[in-house]
Chains A and B, each alone.
Chain A
């Protein structure tokens, strides 16, 4: 089960979430009508090294990472949809990422509690799936814990070095929905001709001078 064996239908749309900073990550989710949300790609700029610690890997700068995200996005969504990622409102590096044509959409009004609760709902109701090649994200999801002294009213998970999970929370909190594709009903050739050459007549009361 590898990426080249995944066959997404033409009705698939995509959405992107990101966490931008010294450690950055992005996730692409595929939205197919009547299917759960499928997380198809994760793009962290770090990797794990023993004991749950992370270190930067592979990218010399944030711009280089942004270019990688844009290329990966284009490989899934095609060249036309712009690469726009949902991020937290305080995100920096907007100008740097704009240079590589990665736009940031700030996730206002979606607090940390809301993001956590929405993603919890998706897992509890089985509305989300992971592709088998995801490596970092499943581990971060499994390791996510409540802080030792949680408030029952405000459920904010303990934040650790889980930037890929943060990116997923950003995009899922928007409750992305697949756009249903409706094909236009094909009409008879004569009807199509008449539609194209319709003579427009103004209706009205002839006694008032309209024609």
Chain B
């Protein structure tokens, strides 16, 4: 394959096709939230209905392990390139990231960085990639898998050229070694642990040459994740966010008893805010805040309690 003749659009198309091939071989059917953001990255909207006869569709697995097709429609303004998946515990975030990244194995010069706070943070993604690409159950490709976090050597390298490397933000930031590279994709593992959105903005230029993607699968455990959420739901189609994904979406790992042990309404251990984040994947603007305080609703004013104010403090009544 002549590297120079491949356009970015063709690269994305090849990656998308190979992705489906890997899923079929390994026996993966994505959950709806995984399919939603992956399809958005490929330029499609996953619709909440069955497809018509001539429509493209994606198979999704529901929380009762049933599989159904969902229609796809071309996304207005094209593919999103910053993809955010905010889900609860064991919602399939890391698995979904590996499902996205495995498509780059089709490109011999693909360079994918998995950035976590430490090398160990990216263990799940590297492990899934090795399973999908190198194992017999997966594609059985020839390559190497190294998982030595102490030496900073955590990667999957395919013999035909594609490289998936785990990076530590702490180490890379010190050496400033992330800049000046060309990358197909940045996958931010447990993104909430990273210090802020600048983990993306400082390296975003590396994605320009290949019109690459950045993916943020994470629990919304820090206030700065709300920035991602707001951009993903904003007007810029470059960003896309799937959020509020309950942990029950994954029938293979969901445990109602464990949920009840944490549910504050059932005497569980977690606070309401923590439960919303950890089990329901909901972005809470009071992340980290102890008191659910907002200035306006908590203020005693002549508007809300006029009888506690003198006449001259009350608002003038509009004549009927």
Contacts and interface: CB of A to CB of B under 8 A. Distances in A.
Interface in B267-320: 269-272, 274, 288-293, 295, 297-302, 305, 307-310, 312-313
B313 A152 contact: no
Given A5-B312, A6-B309, A142 B299 contact: no
Chain B facing A: main interface SS = loop
A145 B289 contact: yes
B309 A5 contact: yes
Given A1-B313, A7-B308, A129 B291 contact: no
A1 B309 contact: yes
Given A6-B308, A8-B308, A35-B305, A128 B290 contact: no
Contact of A129 (B269, B272, B299, B309): B299
Interface residues of A, number: 31
A138 B297 CA distance: 12
Interface in A133-170: 138, 141-142, 144-146, 152-153, 155, 157
B300 A123 contact: no
A7 B270 CA distance: 41
A141 B295 CA distance: 10
A128 B298 CA distance: 7
A145 B288 contact: yes
Q: Which of B290, B299, B302, B313 has the most CB of A within 10 A?
A: B290
B208 to A, nearest CB: 35
A23 interface: no
B117 to A, nearest CB: 13
Contacts of A129: 298-300, 305
Contacts of B305: 35, 129
A138 B291 contact: no
Contacts of A180: none
Given A4-B310, A8-B308, A142-B289, 15 more contacts: A1-B309, A6-B313, A7-B309, A7-B310, A119-B291, A129-B305, A130-B299, A142-B295, A144-B289, A144-B291, A145-B289, A146-B288, A146-B290, A155-B271, A157-B290
